[in-house]
Structures are given as structure tokens and as C-alpha cells.
Structure 1
Amino acid sequence: MKTLQLTIGPVQSFVSQARRTRDLLAGSFLLSFLSGQAMAEVLRRGGEIRYPLVHDENKKILDPLLQAIYDGETPKTSLSAGIGSLPNRFQAQICKNTHPKEIAEAVDCAWKKVANAVWKKVFPNGCPEATKTIWDRQVDEFWEISWVMGNDSSLLSRRKYWHSHFPPSEPGDKCTLTGNLQELSGFVRSREPKQQQEFWESIREKKWISAFDLQENERLSAIGLIKRFYPLVAEEALEWKLPKGALNFPSTGYLAAMPWIFSRRKEQQEEMRNFTQLAQQAKIMCSEDPGHEVDSKFYKLEGNAFFLSNIQRENYWREHGWEQTSEEKAALQKALYQSLYRLTDEGKDTPSPFYALLLMDGDQLGQLLDDQGEKVSQGLAQFTADLPEIVQEERGFTVYAGGDDVLALFPLKNGLPAAVRLRQAYQRAFADISSEASISAALVYAHYKAPLQSVLKNAHELLDDVAKRACGRDSLAIRVWKGGGPVWTWSCPWQEALKGQTDQSVLETVARQIQGEQAYTPSFFHHLRSRLEPWHDPDEKDQKTYQERIQQLLVAEYRRSNGTATREQAEERMEALMSVCLEKWRDPHKNIQTGRFRTEGALIAHFLATEGRGQD
């Protein structure tokens, strides 16, 4: 037997190039599916997978997605049928007479099968020769499969530095989903706008394509078209149907509005039915999947429909096929707005416009695998098994859960509790394996209209550059992304973020304290930023004095805002606030260091307390 390490790429660009949550889910699952094809081929040729842990010592397959690929059958659970659970890289023992190219060929064969299923669906009667040329070029040259032989975990990373994969140049207008690839029509918009428009109209007018599948302004490459449409032909492409949730994955707007949607009271049932009827007349579709069975179509309406600002926006109505000058549209728009206005208690109880994107990744896993490979694989398998239930209980939706990598979406108020619980699950999974095992997390609270691709890219930077590098790993980093982009960032080692607590972070504690407090006005936080932040940098000798003086100034500012508060009350409140406002990080020796006073922690706590309302 010999040791094979194999990886499939590109990863981040393929997954993160997404305009909507369904693209994100489709990309991550397809990558996991292709990796599973390589693993299954290893097993068919008498080999075994060493990492991740996907089978026991008797080669009984434990991962349901891999089992389905190996058997050529539908996965036993709906979750594994549509959510990726296998990483894009693995380590295996293969027989001496097996060449790695044979493993790579299995991936290529599965990819071509997926691509051909989409091609036949979209172009059943053929297409222009230029389109076929672009399609073949992009399908044939997209994936880079790299492999090395040997046990050293650094070998594969070093192999990737060779950069031996050189995709062909991509001329012409670019895809609106995968911006580095040419769109399929082959026409140049500046010279042939009519021909390009007619090409995409001929696809959009197909009866099986909805407005959510291909919007008016979208022009896709072969890769973009495959990612967008393979879920619709999954039975032919994958050999099983995808679950309903993979086809109608909740949008960012729905994630933001979900707590409000499910908080509507019984006495509002009649108005809910009225709003649903009006929405259907307005061609607002029941497209979302709330994650559990619901009878009323009200709970399945697209998320953007629950925001008053959208009902007033002309572009929103044009997206649903209404002419701007339509009298019928004007009357319907008014009726729909009034109905939603009543459901929001005359605008006093509106949905939060923010949702949470959570990214988690194990720290220095390669070193742990070198030291205790089999045990580490067992720990990761246990973590992956515990994860779906935690995400579901926090009303979230898993995009990817493979090994130590996690990508999930939540309503705003569930993101941080979910991160804390998943970190606990990771610790439990490794409790008897290694005290060195840790996981870092990046949590982005993003406005539902923020470009998803940009938010995801920013989340990766937050995880790598802030939580791992600047904060010293085993850390949590949080960022708020409003309509204009990221505004506040806060990071802290998990040890300090929990401060001895097991199920609640200090940020949540402060947020609960802020709720209902009249003293925490915008001017209060403005004064903290303008008066306290510019103070001198403390050195190690006067750090204690620095903190005491900051505490005194905080108490004075709080009492100025709340004239009835006693000094004892103010000191208690500001001690909690201080815990999220002092910079904290872990040095190379893993000791916690404390730095300057920053207001980002307080501002994010206030943001959580208000659930972002009035801040969009």
C-alpha cells in the first residue's frame, strides 16, 4: 500500500461565487460530491481513506453521502442528499498497482455527467457553435486535481505552489456569477446587444425556468449555468433527487425576516391570509423553505416581500413583471403595503434587516493529524455528526459541514449562540484526544441586500486574518456589514469571550444589559469613541492604571446619560461594558494580552440588542 493525498480546486472561488444562497449551497455540495467520487474510487480499488474518517476499520462506510456515491443510490437522509459533508482534500492508502490518475479520472467522469445533464436540459435542440465552443472549453479546463504520494501533510500544500494548472484565456463579456469566465452567448454587449439579449431571452422563456433560476440581468458561463441548474436535473446528474430545501433554500432576506415571520400572532391570521392573497396577485412566489413543515403559504413567501421598503421600490415590482405605469400595479402595491403595515403594528414591529453568516475552521489541524491521525479523524467525525442538530435547533441552515470546516446561515440573534454551541461540541469531540485541539470562528452580521459573494469573501478574511492570525487562534471574530459595507469588527480569544461561562458570551451579556436602558443613546457611544479611544497607548507598566482611568471615565459618562443611576449601579454596568471594549489577543506563547479601549465591542452589543433595526 502507498499513501495518496489528493485535493480538488478551486475551492473558495467556486463556492463563494454566489449571487444567492442557493448558489452557495449548490457550489459547496457539488465540490463535496466530486470529492466523494474520488474517495469512492479509492475504496472500489481496494484502498482505504485515512482522513477524513468516512469508514470504520472493517471499511463500513459511515458518511451517508459517500455511501450513496459508492452504492449509486439515494442517500438515506434528506440532509446528506443536498448538503456537502466531505472535504475537498483527503489522505488515503491505495494499492501499489493503482495510479492516482485513475482516481482523478473518476472525478472527471462524474463532472462530465453533471455537465451533460445540464446541457441537455438547457439546450435540447442544440445551440450556436460559439456557445458550444465556450461550453466545452470551460467544462474541460475548470477543475484542478492535485495529488502527491507520502505521509507528510505539508506535501500537498507544497505541490499546490507549482501552479501547473493554467486555464485558457477567457475573452468577451464575463459571466455575472463567475466573473473570470466568458458568458455563453459569445456576443459582445457593446457591439451586439440585441443578439446577446435574444440568446438569454430564449433560455429564460423556457417553461421550467423561473425568475429565481435566471434573472433578467444574468448572463452565465458554463460553470455558472451548471451550478445554477444542476439541482433541477439532479436525478440524472447525481442519480438522486435533491431535497426540497436544496431547491428552495432560504434567501438572505428570508433569514433576516424569519423570526418576525414566525412571531405573527393567532389574531393576525386573517391579515396574514389577506397579505398572502395580495402577494400571489403581485406574482410574489412561494419560493422559500423555512426548514420545517408549515401549512400557510404566508410562511413560504420570498423574504424580500416582508420589508415595507421593498413594497415601495419600483425595481422590486419590475422584477416580478409589472410595468411601472400599470394602474393595476399601483392599486395592488398600495393594498399590499397597507396590509404589511398592519402586520407590522403600523411600522413599529418590523423584521430585522440583518442575518448571520458563520464560518468555522479547526486550528493547526495538519499538525494534529500528523501526531494522532486516526483519533483526530474520529473527533472530526463526532463533531460533524453533532453539528446538524445544533444548527437546526438554532433555526439555522447548514451550507457545508465537512471535517473541521463549517459554513452556516442563521437569523441574526441565533448566530452567536450557535457559534458558542458549536465550539463546545468541537471541544467535547476532542476531549479525550488532544487538549491542543481548538476551533476559530468568524461571524458576519450582514444586511440582507449586501452582495453575498462579498460577504462570504469578507468572512474568510475575518477568519484567517483576524480570528487566527491577529487574535492568535482559538478565537471568535465578529463583523457588522451594513448596506454600505463593513463598519465594526470585534475579536477575542474564546477564553475571554466566554469569561468562565459555558453557554453565553460576554457580548450577549452586555447586549441583554443594554436592552431597555435609556442611557445607551447614540450620543453615549459617540462620546465613548471621540473621548476615550484617542487616549494614549498603554504600555505593560501602566496597563492597570490605564484601565482604572477608563473605567472612571465610563462611569462618569454613564451617569451623565442616566441621571438617576447610583455610582454602584454605574460601576456594575461599566465593568461589563469594559469586558467587550478592551482589545484582547493571544501572544505566540498563548498568553492573553490586553490592549487599548475600542468602542467596536460596545457598538456591536448595542447592534445585537436592537437586532439592527433602524441601522440599515
Structure 2
Amino acid sequence: RCWEFGRLWNQIKARVKKPNIGDTYALLVEMAQTGLKALKYRGKPAFAEEKWQKCSLCGERSALIDLDLDKLESDPNYVNETIKKFEYKFKDDLDEKGRRNALYYKRLKDFWKKMAGAFPGHIKENEHLCAVCLVKRLAPKVIYESVKENAKNNQKSPFFESIVKEFDYHYPSTGSIAISPFIKKTFDERVDFSLISETIKDMLERGSDDNGRRKIKNFLDAHFTEGRTVPAIKDRIIDKHIAVERFEGDFELEWFYDESFPRFYNELEDKGENGQKRQWAERIEQAVQEIKKKAKEILGEKYHLPKYYAAVYLDGDHLGKWLRGEFAPKIEDVFHPDFVKQVMNNEHFKKIKNLKRPVTPAIHRAISSALRDFALEVVPYVVEENLGVVVYSGGDDTLFLMPLENLFKTLMALRRLYSGEQFVIKLGNRIFESDKGFIKIYENGELKEIIRVMGTKATLSAGVAIAHYLDPLDVTLSRAKKALEEAKEAGRNKAAFKVILHSGSERKAVVPWNFVEKMEVFRTEISNGFSPRFLRMLYGDIDVYQEIPEAFDAEFLKFGSRGQSKDVKLLLCDLIDARKDNGLPPGEFVDALLIADFVAREEGAK
């Protein structure tokens, strides 16, 4: 309440001759956070249940439609007039409710088919979105085009030119993210993709006229191209200019999966569009199959199409306490030791020396700067160099999607760089060298900048959901969010993993960060040929081993070491030591290693 601030200010003025923001800042921060807590305890407001067909994306709100839903429910004349307006024909034996429902669902289908035609490549014909999801889908496009128009009107403005040059509002599909390691290998090995461009060119040139060519182009944009592949893959699969048409988006990588075309043909059949559109799709399929055949010949054993990806939430631990100054050093520790010696016997200093350093605007600016630099200079580069895509990165709060290749390495790199631990990693043309809360960033061998991060006392938690590319994205994200909550509940400074198999079963584990390193070592050993089959045998009796972990350790070493090299035996001993040091129950330990095994197999390990 405002009067509380006024009363506080009056008390400060009574004690200080010329008060300023520094005299009240810590108290104001405490009061603001107390008020925020009070709002959280009140809970979320209750929302009325929305009727009719739910949004195909969020599943929470009603899909948009060009009908007056209030009149649809209450006014039979409105229903009859609307049916007549759109010249719809329904069965004569439908009652009032039946005619209303028939009108609604017919109009919903037609409306979104029209929207898909108006925004090819942005909205699919089988989608129906609510207002919120439609705004999220189209707002970046509208904003981009607005900025682009401003750039044309302000051609001398470097501000607008830089935004238009760097801004990309598209996101690749989950299938494109999962399969990106395969696509990168094909480009590295110089697999020729030109047959797809040649096929599209022939299709366009066979168009009867401009209208026919435009129809083919819209079909390709709606189903076969995406605005953006993963940022690390710079090469294009199809040319930007084919015949007289311009393709802003590239060929969608998901079409390289064996099941993609049969699934699409089923969709066309369900919609009664099995004629010309199927013929166009079959021509694209022939080109794709030919390229895959060549890729198998060139890649040999490296040929593998991964189908799983990871959704990762990162969140800084106890950020509220950092902002309140609960992790601030003691006043005695802030000053130089020589100064402390000089004032050690001062009575006033004795009273305040063990108090926390007061919260000031400067401290908050330092925290804000550290989080900003981590979000802008570290996260995008680390994630994108490992074929990932950043959804958002707002300081300590990050969400990104990435293939399973290098998953554990990426997580560990971000954890270390967040705190500025002693660590060096080379990614692309950059080297990140961190130590004591600072990161030196080298680019092309030259020192680009030095940034300050949160410091070695700061920690980070992660929630990781590994899912099949066809699983609903909203379900995957909710499971990743739930995993993050479990990491927090387990004591923070941990990573929680959930693997959602396409069959619907789930495997999960919550482990300290140092054990994520062990998971990466174990994954590497599996990729080099080590078989972890013994883990599944042990897992069959895991309930018994939970009670007698010493027996589990002995059995783990006994069965895992059979016929193995000295290096593997040492690794297994190291894993058991890590289990004991981190207090992991045998069940959690085996689950974590089986997740590492799953990641290795998805990367192509035999």
C-alpha cells in the first residue's frame, strides 16, 4: 500500500539529513518482494470454461471462427440465415441442435482452410487456433514486415537495416531439430540435394499459367518448406530462386523420415484431396528417396536418422535471495584486509562487521548485467553451435530445443559458464574461457570481450524432456517444466531428465551436475562399442537393491566388468564412487545410465 512507503520515507528523513535512494533501497526491495509474494499466495484467478472446439495448439481456449457464437447458441434464425448465406446443404432430418452443430463444424473447417490459404507456410489446413495462439503465430511476421517497411522508408538508418538483416521469426519443426545431425553429416560429406530443386523447377514450369504455377508454389510453401532450419546449418537444400518463384523458406528436413510421406498421403485421403496434390507430393518423394539412397552409399555406417530431441528449461537457483542480498558478503569481507585491521577495534565497526552488505542499485545492475550477458552472449552461441534452437533466454530463465547429439556436453558447458567456473570450450570460431566469475570470449583467435557472470556461488537447475519428434510439443514442454520443478524440489543445482518413449512409457532421473559428466562419459563408452545390457538385468531386481546398495555395487561391477578392458573397469568403479558420493539410490543411478544409453543409441550407436 502506498502509505507504507510514505511512512518509511518519513522515518528515513527523521534520521538522515539529506536522504537519497541509497538510504531506502534495500528496504524498498524487501517491501516490493513481500508484496509480490502476497499476490502469489492469492493464486491465479478462475477462468470460465470455454465452449466449442478447442485450439489445436494449446487445447485450452476456443478456436477462432467467423460466427457470432452467442447468437449461434440462442438464435435459430441466425443459424438458418447463416446456412443460407454460405449455401450449405445439411440433412433435412437434423433438429435445431444438429443444424447448429453442423453449421459450426463446417464453418470452422472452411474458415481455417481460408486462413491457411491466406498465410501459406504459417497455418496448416488442419489447424484451428485460438486468439492467443494465432497472435503468437503471426505477430513475428507482422512485426518483421512492419520493421522491413520502416527500413525501406529509412534506408540510411543502420538501426533498421541491422534488424531486417538479423531478424528471423521462424522456428524449425521438432522433426527438423531431431534429424539435424544427419543433415549436417550429409552436407559435410557433400551429398547432392539439387534433385529436389530440379524437381520443383520442372513442376513449376509445367504449371499451365501464372495461376497454376502460384497454386503449386502455395502447395509447396504450405507443406514442404519451413522458414528456418536449425541456425548452425547454413547451407540450403533447395535454391532460393527456382524458375520465376522465390522460396524464402528451405525444404523441411522432416520429409527425410520414411514415415512422413505415407502419413501425408493418409491426410490427403481423409480430406478427399488424393488427386493432383498427391501427384505433386509423389514427385517430391521420388527426389527425396533418390537423395537418401545416395546418402546411404556415401555415409555408410554413419547413415542414421535420429527421431528424438530434447526440450531444456534452465533456471537460476535462489535468484530472489540474490536480489534481496541474502548471498551478499559480510561487510567485513567487502573491505581491504589492511583497512579492516585499522578499524577492527572501532565500536561502530564491531556492530556492523558481521552484517550482510546492503542491497544497492549498483548490485542489482551488476546482477542484471551478468544475466543479460549470459543470455545474449553465451546461451545462443553454445546452443546453436550444437544444432539447437533457443526459444527464449531471459537471463537466468532459458528454454531451448536441440537434438540429442552433444546434449550432455551442452548442458555442462552452460552450467559452468553460468557460474564462471574454471572452464574452456571451443565452439565454431569462438573460445569461451571462464574463471572466477568472468568469461573471456575469443573470436577468430582475438579477444572479443570479457563479461561478468553470476559467480562461482551461483547455481543453476535444469529440466530436460527427451521426446519423439511426433509427440505434441505442448506435452513435451510441460514435461520439461515438470522436470525442472523436480530438480528444484530435489535441492536445486541439479538436472532432471525425462525420456518419453513413443510408446508412451517414461524413464526419469534427477542427478547432481557432476553426475551429468559421468553420464556423458558412459554415453561415449557405449558409442565406442561397450554394451550396457547388464543394466537391464540389474533393473529387474532394483526394488531389492534399493534396500541393500552395497550388494548392488558389487553386482554392478561383477556383471559390467565381464570381458571388458581395464579402462572400462576403471570407468565402472568411477561410476560407483560417483553414486556413493552423490547419495544416488541404485534405482536413480541405473535410470540415469539407461538415459545415457538411450541418448547413445539415438545418436546411432549399435
Tell me, yes or no, if structure 1 residue 520 matches structure 2 residue 532.
yes
Tell me, yes or no, if structure 1 residue 535 matches structure 2 residue 541.
no
Equivalent residue number for residue 510 of structure 2: 491
| Structure number with higher relative contact order (C-alpha < 8 Å, ≥ 6 residues apart) | 1
> Are the counterparts in 2 of residues 184 and 219 from structure 1 also a CA contact under 8 Å?
yes
Equivalent residue number for residue 500 of structure 2: 481
Alpha-carbon offset, residue 575 of structure 1: 2.0
Of 253-262 and 284-293, the range deviating more from structure 2: 284-293
Q: 1:469 to 1:537 in 2, by over 3 A?
A: same
Where 1:297 maps in the other structure, the secondary structure is coil
Q: 1:313 aligns with which of 259, 263, 271?
A: 263
Unaligned runs of 5+ in 1: 6-91, 94-147, 499-504, 539-545, 585-591
Q: 1:448 aligns with which of 469, 488, 496?
A: 469
Q: 1:248 to 1:554 in 2, by over 3 A?
A: same
Tell me, yes or no, if structure 1 residue 365 matches structure 2 residue 322.
no
Q: 1:447 to 1:211 in 2, by over 3 A?
A: farther
Tell me, yes or no, if structure 1 residue 285 matches structure 2 residue 224.
yes
Equivalent residue number for residue 245 of structure 2: none
Give distance in 1, aligned partners of 2:170 and 2:44. 38
Over aligned residue pairs, what C-alpha RMSD do you find? 4.1
Equivalent residue number for residue 555 of structure 2: 553
Alpha-carbon offset, residue 245 of structure 1: 6.3
> Are the counterparts in 1 of residues 229 and 250 from structure 2 also a CA contact under 8 Å?
yes
Tell me, yes or no, if structure 1 residue 431 matches structure 2 residue 431.
no
Q: 1:506 aligns with which of 518, 528, 534?
A: 518
Give distance in 1, aligned partners of 2:481 and 2:459. 18
Q: TM-score, normalised by structure 2?
A: 0.63
Tell me, yes or no, if structure 1 residue 294 matches structure 2 residue 248.
no
Give distance in 1, aligned partners of 2:119 and 2:4. 44
Give distance in 2, aligned partners of 1:458 and 1:353. 18
For 1:145-224, list aligned pairs within 5 A.
151-163=31-43, 165-185=45-65, 186=69, 191-205=100-114, 209-224=118-133
> Are the counterparts in 1 of residues 460 and 492 from structure 2 also a CA contact under 8 Å?
yes
Where 1:232 maps in the other structure, the secondary structure is helix
Where 1:247 maps in the other structure, the secondary structure is coil
Alpha-carbon offset, residue 480 of structure 1: 1.6
Equivalent residue number for residue 135 of structure 2: 226
Equivalent residue number for residue 542 of structure 1: none
Give distance in 2, aligned partners of 1:600 and 1:487. 10
Equivalent residue number for residue 342 of structure 1: 293
Alpha-carbon offset, residue 475 of structure 1: 1.0
User: Residue by residue, what CA displacement relative to the aligned partner does 1:592-611 show, whole Å, maximum 9, x if unpaired?
Assistant: 53433442122112122222
Alpha-carbon offset, residue 427 of structure 1: 0.5
Equivalent residue number for residue 18 of structure 2: none
Q: 1:268 to 1:194 in 2, by over 3 A?
A: farther
> Are the counterparts in 1 of residues 116 and 125 from structure 2 also a CA contact under 8 Å?
no
Alpha-carbon offset, residue 402 of structure 1: 1.0
Give distance in 2, aligned partners of 1:533 and 1:443. 25
Give distance in 2, aligned partners of 1:509 and 1:164. 44
Tell me, yes or no, if structure 1 residue 595 matches structure 2 residue 516.
no
Give distance in 2, aligned partners of 1:3 and 1:399. 41
> Are the counterparts in 1 of residues 386 and 406 from structure 2 also a CA contact under 8 Å?
yes
Equivalent residue number for residue 402 of structure 1: 394
Alpha-carbon offset, residue 3 of structure 1: 12
> Are the counterparts in 1 of residues 420 and 455 from structure 2 also a CA contact under 8 Å?
no
Give distance in 2, aligned partners of 1:259 and 1:610. 14
Give distance in 2, aligned partners of 1:556 and 1:302. 48
> Are the counterparts in 1 of residues 238 and 251 from structure 2 also a CA contact under 8 Å?
yes
Where 2:405 maps in the other structure, the secondary structure is helix
Equivalent residue number for residue 254 of structure 2: 304
Kindly provide the amino acid, as one letter, of the partner of residue 380 in structure 1. L
Kindly provide the amino acid, as one letter, of the partner of residue 313 in structure 1. R
Where 2:556 maps in the other structure, the secondary structure is helix
Give distance in 2, aligned partners of 1:420 and 1:177. 32
> Are the counterparts in 1 of residues 112 and 126 from structure 2 also a CA contact under 8 Å?
no
Q: 1:164 to 1:364 in 2, by over 3 A?
A: closer
Give distance in 2, aligned partners of 1:610 and 1:443. 18
User: Residue by residue, what CA displacement relative to the aligned partner does 1:484-520 show, whole Å, maximum 9, x if unpaired?
Assistant: 34522122122x326xxxxxx1111111111232533
Alpha-carbon offset, residue 291 of structure 1: 1.6
Q: 1:533 to 1:606 in 2, by over 3 A?
A: farther
Unaligned runs of 5+ in 2: 6-23, 74-96, 151-159, 204-218, 240-248, 326-358, 422-435, 439-453
Q: 1:4 to 1:457 in 2, by over 3 A?
A: farther
Q: 2:410 aligns with which of 418, 426, 429?
A: 418
Give distance in 1, aligned partners of 2:108 and 2:467. 35
Where 1:173 maps in the other structure, the secondary structure is coil
Give distance in 1, aligned partners of 2:124 and 2:413. 38
Give distance in 2, aligned partners of 1:4 and 1:422. 42
Where 2:62 maps in the other structure, the secondary structure is coil
Kindly provide the amino acid, as one letter, of the partner of residue 555 in structure 2. L
> Are the counterparts in 1 of residues 313 and 398 from structure 2 also a CA contact under 8 Å?
yes
Q: 1:526 to 1:165 in 2, by over 3 A?
A: closer
Alpha-carbon offset, residue 425 of structure 1: 1.7
Give distance in 1, aligned partners of 2:187 and 2:290. 15
Alpha-carbon offset, residue 469 of structure 1: 0.7
Q: Percent identity?
A: 23
User: Residue by residue, what CA displacement relative to the aligned partner does 1:163-189 show, whole Å, maximum 9, x if unpaired?
Assistant: 584545533332223333222223689
User: Residue by residue, what CA displacement relative to the aligned partner does 1:120-151 show, whole Å, maximum 9, x if unpaired?
Assistant: xxxxxxxxxxxxxxxxxxxxxxxxxxxx9963
Give distance in 1, aligned partners of 2:145 and 2:292. 45
The number of aligned residues is 445
Larger C-alpha radius of gyration, 1 or 2?
2
> Are the counterparts in 2 of residues 480 and 488 from structure 1 also a CA contact under 8 Å?
yes
Q: 1:253 aligns with which of 146, 159, 175?
A: 175
For 1:83-122, list aligned pairs within 5 A.
none
Q: 1:444 to 1:342 in 2, by over 3 A?
A: same
Equivalent residue number for residue 135 of structure 1: none
Q: 1:411 to 1:245 in 2, by over 3 A?
A: farther
User: Residue by residue, what CA displacement relative to the aligned partner does 1:425-474 show, whole Å, maximum 9, x if unpaired?
Assistant: 21129838665421111222221111110111111110112x1112x111
Tell me, yes or no, if structure 1 residue 353 matches structure 2 residue 307.
yes
> Are the counterparts in 2 of residues 308 and 337 from structure 1 also a CA contact under 8 Å?
no
Q: 2:489 aligns with which of 433, 454, 469?
A: 469
Equivalent residue number for residue 273 of structure 1: 194
> Are the counterparts in 1 of residues 526 and 532 from structure 2 also a CA contact under 8 Å?
yes
> Are the counterparts in 1 of residues 116 and 123 from structure 2 also a CA contact under 8 Å?
no
Where 2:547 maps in the other structure, the secondary structure is coil
Equivalent residue number for residue 332 of structure 1: 283
Alpha-carbon offset, residue 4 of structure 1: 12
